[in-house]
Amino acid sequence: LPALLLGLLWPGVVRCRSLPSHLPAGSRQRRWDAALFARSVARLPAERRDAARDGDYLLGIKRLRRLYCNVGIGFPLQGLLEISPVERGVVSIFGVRSGLFVAMNSKGKLYGSTHFNDECKFKEILLPNNYNAYESRIYPGMYIALSKNGRTKKGNKVSPTMTVTHFLPRI
């Protein structure tokens, strides 16, 4: 994962557009998916508008973070990630410098995707030790994980109780 994420993560700033709250939830979700897809295709940052209202209060808020994984001697990832909410409890992870989304295929292998799709969605789970685990949205039970030497592990070979899946977002 460090090689993948280091390739994805270089500093830069991306702005986004929030969606109107008067639309039905399904319509907002489709528009949000379309906006992410359009940005991934066009490679252009979208405008950021005022904060969204009520049900979609997190949509459009981008968190620029570096992830720390406490395996081996600890792997601080030096690249910058944009963690964006897609729906309640579900995020996409975008490498700012590379312009690639972190994605996981059906075999649990991580890869960088130029286009936003369902494989780019991860459930962000807050663990009791205040670390986060990232579970694939469309392949439940598969988690983003690092081995002790910093390489990616297949998502189907790990569980959220293993420290290789624990990440601490840092500013």
Contacts of 73 (CB under 8 A, 6+ apart): none
56 in Cβ contact with 27 (< 8 Å): no
Evaluate if pTM is beyond 0.85.
no
What 138-145 contacts at long range (C-beta under 8 Å, 24+ apart), as own/partner pairs, is 139/104, 139/106, 139/108, 142/104, 142/108, 144/1, 144/102, 144/104, 144/110, 145/1
Give me the pLDDT at residue 11, please: 41
**Two tokens at 118?**
């369902």
Place of tokens 């995707």: 113
CATH numbers and ranges of domains, the chain: 2-12+61-170 (2.80.10.50)
36 in Cβ contact with 99 (< 8 Å): no
Give me the pLDDT at residue 35, please: 59
Note down pLDDT in tens along the chain; length 171 residues: 444 444 444 444 344 444 455 555 555 566 656 555 555 544 444 444 444 444 555 566 888 988 888 887 666 666 789 999 999 999 999 999 999 999 999 999 999 999 999 999 999 999 999 999 999 999 999 999 988 887 889 999 999 999 999 998 888
Give me the pLDDT at residue 77, please: 65
